[in-house]
A and B are shown apart, each in its own frame.
Chain A
Amino acid sequence: DAGVIQSPRHEVTEMGQEVTLRCKPISGHDYLFWYRQTMMRGLELLIYFNNNVPIDDSGMPEDRFSAKMPNASFSTLKIQPSEPRDSAVYFCASRTGRLSGNTIYFGEGSWLTVV
């Protein structure tokens, strides 16, 4: 079975440019999560969706960040304008069901460098 698919795997962009990260969750999973990983702050939950609806976006750093999930098989995380401090690894993850004990599966991540 295909896992969580993220693109691009690596992105280098200049400060001020728009960055769009993409995610395809595992088929049948109705929860989708966006995490950010940095050396300083570790893993942070940015936002998560249930049945395509954003449930908790309290982790989104500021208005420059936005996330959408137009359908059950696709989500985007957009940064506009990007800044050097946004450099991090961004993970998308998904899980199924309402039981909070169900396992969350991660994609391979999008490595973002803003110069």
Chain B
Amino acid sequence: AQSVAQPEDQVNVAEGNPLTVKCTYSVSGNPYLFWYVQYPNRGLQFLLKYITGDNLVKGSYGFEAEFNKSQTSFHLKKPSALVSDSALYFCAVNYGGSQGNLIFGKGTKLSVKP
């Protein structure tokens, strides 16, 4: 069965420090991987995606993610965190079939302290 795991419910970092939000997946076939961010009382906003090609993907707001096929991971990273990055982050996978829907992880709450 296709699945996505975000092993951390919450990640706490100090402003200016690098941040990592972890994601692992389990799919058959080639995965299409996504990161979304949700601010309080808002919808999900697309950050970045991996479809094919370069394993390092750059996205909005200075975020990037690295696809690692051997470790089946797609961790979200940012070199220097901002307080305004505090939000709920979701990893999602579409396993490339014709169905076209996303399977989401449970989400990770990122808290950046000044």
**Interface range for A:** 20 to 34
Contact A42 B104 (CB under 8 A): yes
Which of A56, A101, A102, A109 touches B43 (beta carbons < 8 Å)?
Answer: A109
* Contacting pair A43 B104 (CB below 8 A): yes
Pair count A-B, CB < 8 A: 55
Is there contact, CB below 8 Å, between B99 and A101?
no
Residues in A lying within 8 Å of B, measured CB to CB: 4, 31, 33, 42-43, 45, 48, 50, 55-56, 91, 93, 95, 98, 100-109, 111
Interfacial residues, chain B to chain A (CB-CB below 8 A) = 32, 34, 36, 41-46, 49, 51, 90, 94-102, 104-107
A–B pairs, 19, beta carbons within 8 Å? A31-B100, A33-B101, A42-B104, A43-B90, A43-B107, A55-B99, A98-B98, A100-B97, A100-B100, A101-B96, A103-B34, A104-B34, A104-B46, A105-B46, A106-B36, A106-B44, A106-B45, A108-B43, A109-B43
